[in-house]
């Protein structure tokens, strides 16, 4: 029997990368899924082969209405919401802060930080109400980054947004600590996702070596490795951990 059997799990950014890997892992653990992504076509294609109950809704997390509609969809389709994984995010190209275009900075903040705020704003009351009325605890896992707990030269705006995600996570976790809702953040370093390979280009071992030069393990993370940390944070048995930033970074923050 899976850890998440008959539980409802909401995942944003679910059409690829961490999001799709997580959807598959939660499905394998018996969860019902509510999945969202900006790209409706990729979302439909990615979820077509799922043999677990799935509800999908495409949209932009920078629009508050999407977060509200996803919570409503979970309750309309499955009658409950147990886990939310706020995974959707973007990154900008490597550039020093003064060279970062203001419209790029605004877009990153809108998606990565304001989008996270919208998600928490609508998920928390629903989970608190469910705990109050039915004694069903809930968990929220926010995808931050090692750039959210350390400096990230040439990724300053992205780092600022992810520091904000960590701040939201810790603050909200303290507010919800007695209300049946656990909130934690996972902070990966560079992983083998389309976001990173898009920066590196294809078949670029020299670029990969340069990117991981400051990683003690000297490699990219694999999506399964990060997914394992997310499932650990979301696991109902992990019931006394909240407000934490779980660094899955190959040892970066150890030095």
Handedness of CA 101, 39, 207, 185 (dihedral sign): positive
Task: Give residue 244's pLDDT.
Answer: 98
Q: For residues 179 and 74, what is the distance between their CA atoms, to the nearest angstrom?
A: 20
Q: Domain ranges in the chain?
A: 8-191+222-245
Q: Are 191 and 226 in contact (CB under 8 A)?
A: yes
CATH number for the domain whose boundaries are 8-191+222-245: 3.40.50.720
Please state, as a whole number, how many other Cβ atoms lie within 10 Å of the Cβ of residue 103. Answer: 8
* Residue 158 designated active-site: yes
> Among the options 82, 158, 182, 192, which is catalytic?
158
Bridge partners, 34 (sequence order): 10, 55
Give pLDDT tens digits along the chain (255 positions). 699 999 999 999 999 999 999 999 999 999 999 999 999 999 999 988 898 999 999 999 999 999 999 999 999 999 999 999 999 999 999 999 999 999 999 999 999 999 999 999 999 999 999 999 999 999 999 999 999 999 999 999 999 999 999 999 999 999 999 999 999 999 999 888 777 766 666 666 776 777 788 899 999 999 999 999 999 999 999 999 999 999 999 999 999
Task: Give residue 211's pLDDT.
Answer: 78
Q: What is the pTM of this model?
A: 0.95
Give the burial string for 224-235 (b: 16+ CB within 10 Å, else e). Answer: eebbebbbbbbe
Task: Give residue 186's pLDDT.
Answer: 98
Q: For residues 227 and 215, what is the distance between their CA atoms, to the nearest angstrom?
A: 19
Q: For residues 53 and 156, what is the distance between their CA atoms, to the nearest angstrom?
A: 40
């Amino acid at each position: 029997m899976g850890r998440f059997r008959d539980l409802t799990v909401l995942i944003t950014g679910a059409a690829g990368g961490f999001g799709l890997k997580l959807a598959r892992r939660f499905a394998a653990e018996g969860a019902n899924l509510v999945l969202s992504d900006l790209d409706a076509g990729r979302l439909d294609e990615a979820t077509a082969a799922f043999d677990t109950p799935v509800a999908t809704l495409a949209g932009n997390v920078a629009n508050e209405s999407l977060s509200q509609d996803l919570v409503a969809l979970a309750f309309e389709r499955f009658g409950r919401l147990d886990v939310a994984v706020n995974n959707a995010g973007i990154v900008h190209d490597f550039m020093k802060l003064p060279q970062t275009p203001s419209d790029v900075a605004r877009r990153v903040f809108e998606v990565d930080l304001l989008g996270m705020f919208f998600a928490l704003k609508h998920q928390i009351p629903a989970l608190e109400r469910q705990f109050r009325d039915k004694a069903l605890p809930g968990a929220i896992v926010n995808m931050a980054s090692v750039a959210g707990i350390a400096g990230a030269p040439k990724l300053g705006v992205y780092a600022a947004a992810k520091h904000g995600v960590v701040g939201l996570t810790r603050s909200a976790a303290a507010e919800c600590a007695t209300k049946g809702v656990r909130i934690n953040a996972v902070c990966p370093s560079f992983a083998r996702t389309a976001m990173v390979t898009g920066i590196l280009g294809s078949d670029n071992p020299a670029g990969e070596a340069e990117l991981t030069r400051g990683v003690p393990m000297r490699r990219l993370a694999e999506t399964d490795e990060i997914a394992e940390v997310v499932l650990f944070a979301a696991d109902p048995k992990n019931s006394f951990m909240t407000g934490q930033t779980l660094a899955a970074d190959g040892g970066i923050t150890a030095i």
